[in-house]
């Protein structure tokens, strides 16, 4: 495993992070592919065996049961682990949200997360989405109070627009509030729209970038003979990844992976890990071996010419990375 500071902060994370959306109580969530009980413990144990120290979850993942599983499993080794969670999500629908980042809601959600995680603190607390209703000043002041109270060590954001991030950073600086140290974005060979504005902004302001959905939800990049369980059951997959160039990108990935003698998924992860400003890539897992294979991508160094060839078929597409 490799480890890296998150942006210009002093928080060190494993470059492969565990994506907590893949574990929890299926009856509490929207997805059939999440793993519970002994299956979840096996996946978490594999993460530890791989040297993964960075675990990303959220209160909305399977009704909070993802946090419970991660907190319970990591409790004996808590001081050596980095746990990231989120506030401001909505368990009811993916419709436009409002009022989820008010001061009272943030305080309540943090306390619930700490209880589920069986921890006195959250290493990285991220706002899950932008709240169009609550004044951003109220949100940032509430987050700052959580840091000052010792309940949260660092702050981050997830899936917001570049102009929103820059506005928040300026308010944090002008008012001497705890600032964001990271930004979590959807980023993979099929979706690279954040290269235009968000990633350069993060580099300019010293934020680490955390990439999620690095295999495009299993769509086209995983090198499977048949669609993954997530691809078959997740209606958003078809909406997010249906651009005309996708087939060419996938074909190029499989061809180059074959020439190098590596699995396509590992080559796709290697590409993401080598991109500028990417501090960590989150890997989901639904069965044993997924995380071990993801960690093996760190050893693949195909060279810039291969990466250039992987990128060549890409064409700009409608921005949909905030889902």
pLDDT at 239: 53
| Three-state secondary structure call for residue 70 | helix
pLDDT at 121: 97
Which tokens belong to 109? 């959600």
Q: Are 290 and 162 in contact (CB under 8 A)?
A: no
Give pLDDT < 50 ranges for the chain. Answer: 91-97, 223-226, 321
pLDDT at 321: 47
CA distance 22 to 285: 6
CA distance 169 to 183: 12
Q: Are 122 and 85 in contact (CB under 8 A)?
A: yes
Handedness of CA 53, 60, 265, 229 (dihedral sign): positive
Q: Are 155 and 181 in contact (CB under 8 A)?
A: yes
161-191 core/surface letters (b: 16 or more CB in 10 A; e: else): ebeebeebbebbeeeebbbbbbbbbbbbbbb
Q: How many helices (H) and strands (E) does the chain have?
A: 12, 10
If you count them, how many residues does the chain have?
A: 323
DSSP state of 79: G
Residue 51 CB burial class (10 angstroms; 0-12, 13-18, ≥19) = middle
121 is catalytic: no
Parallel, antiparallel, or unpaired: how do β-strands 16-19 and 54-56 relate?
parallel
Q: How many other C-beta atoms lie within 10 A of the C-beta of residue 228?
A: 18
Which tokens belong to 148? 């000052």
CA distance 178 to 110: 16
Share of the chain above pLDDT 70, in %: 85
CA-closest candidate to residue 34, choices 283, 286, 219:
286
pLDDT at 224: 47
pLDDT at 93: 44
CA-closest candidate to residue 129, choices 154, 93, 104:
93
> From the candidates 61, 154, 191, 212, which is the catalytic residue?
61
List domains and CATH numbers for the chain: 3-311 (3.20.20.100)
CA distance 126 to 59: 11
Full-model pTM: 0.88
Output the DSSP codes for 201-232. HHHHHT-EEEEE-TTGGGSSSS--SS--HHHH
């Amino acid at each position: 495993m490799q480890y890296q500071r998150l942006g210009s902060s002093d928080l060190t994370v494993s470059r492969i992070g565990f994506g907590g959306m893949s574990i929890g109580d299926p009856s509490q969530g929207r997805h059939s592919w999440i793993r519970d009980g002994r299956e979840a413990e096996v996946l978490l144990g594999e993460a530890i065996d791989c040297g993964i120290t960075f675990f990303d979850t959220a209160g909305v993942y399977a009704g909070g049961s993802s946090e419970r599983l991660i907190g319970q499993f990591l409790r004996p080794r808590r001081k050596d682990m980095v746990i990231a969670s989120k506030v401001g999500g909505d368990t009811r629908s993916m419709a436009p949200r409002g009022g989820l980042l008010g001061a009272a809601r943030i305080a309540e959600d943090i306390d619930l997360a700490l209880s589920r995680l069986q921890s006195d603190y959250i290493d990285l607390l991220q706002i899950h989405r932008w709240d169009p209703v609550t004044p951003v000043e109220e949100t940032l002041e509430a987050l700052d109070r959580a840091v000052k109270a010792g309940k949260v060590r660092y702050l981050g954001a997830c899936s917001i627009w570049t102009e929103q991030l820059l506005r928040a950073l300026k308010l944090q600086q002008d008012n001497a509030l705890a600032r964001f140290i990271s930004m979590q974005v959807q980023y993979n060979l099929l979706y690279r729209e954040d290269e235009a504005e968000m990633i350069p902004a993060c580099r300019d302001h010293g934020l680490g970038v955390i990439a999620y959905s690095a295999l495009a939800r299993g769509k086209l990049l995983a090198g499977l003979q048949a669609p993954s369980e997530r691809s078959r059951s997740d209606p958003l997959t078809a909406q997010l990844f249906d651009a005309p160039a996708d087939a060419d990108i996938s074909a190029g990935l499989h061809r180059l992976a074959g020439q190098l003698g590596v699995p396509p998924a590992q080559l796709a992860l290697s590409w993401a890990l080598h991109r500028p400003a990417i501090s960590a890539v989150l890997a989901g897992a639904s069965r044993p071996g997924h995380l071990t294979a993801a960690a093996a991508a760190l050893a693949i160094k195909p060279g810039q010419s291969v990466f250039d060839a992987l990128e060549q078929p890409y064409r700009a597409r409608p921005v949909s990375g905030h889902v």
